[in-house]
Amino acid sequence: MEEYKITMHNEEDTIALAENLESEKFPNMVICLYGELGSGKTIFAKAFAHAMGIDGVTSSTFNIIKEYTGELPLYHMDVYRVDNNVENLGIEEYFEKGGVTIIEWADLIKDYLPEERLDIKFKVIDENTRVLILKAYGEEYIRACEDIL
């Protein structure tokens, strides 16, 4: 596991990071997003999707998993309201469907996450500033982080 820390000074920095990371994407990539409400998780997910040619990504209160078609399939999960239904969702199946999976509120399903993944924790410093802590588990994730940082 490698850890990287980056300061984002505005929304544009978060969007640029997501776009740069998207250029390093690979099949079965899993990105887990952590952080309080309003910390930038959805901004990151939307920007990553947009770079894949996918628009219309939202954090939904009703759909826990949304599937999008782009250069690779994108599986966007917002597990904020998952409660105890995790087993019934088949979340693990998505990690091996050849697409990119982005999970918001990943800490709520930590027992179901794959060993190899990229964790991004959003820490709010002030209204505009965020510190992002990226933890890369696995060679492909370490390489992707090193290529963009």
pLDDT value at residue 88: 80
Q: What is the CA angle 24-27-31, rounded to 5?
A: 65
Among 2-16, 31-45, 85-99, the range scoring the smallest mean pLDDT is 85-99
pLDDT value at residue 21: 97
Task: List CB contacts of 90: < 8 A, sequence separation 6 or more.
Answer: none
Mean pLDDT of 116-133: 97
Mean pLDDT for the chain overall: 94
Q: What is the CA angle 66-104-76, rounded to 5?
A: 20
Quick one: what percent of the chain has pLDDT higher than 90? Answer: 84
**For residue 95, is pLDDT > 90?**
yes
Give the whole-angstrom CA distance, residue 132 versus residue 122. 5
Quick one: what percent of the chain has pLDDT higher than 70? Answer: 98
Task: List CB contacts of 23: < 8 A, sequence separation 6 or more.
Answer: 51, 148
pLDDT value at residue 81: 82
Token duo for residue 56: 């219309």
**For residue 15, is pLDDT > 90?**
yes
Catalogue all structural domains in the chain, each as residue range(s) with its CATH number.
2-148 (3.40.50.300)
What predicted TM-score, i.e. pTM, was given to this entire model? 0.96
Per-residue pLDDT tens over the stretch 34-93: 999 999 999 999 999 999 999 988 876 678 899 999 889 999 999 988 877 787 888 999
The answer to whether residues 77 and 102 touch, using CB atoms and an 8 Å cutoff, is yes
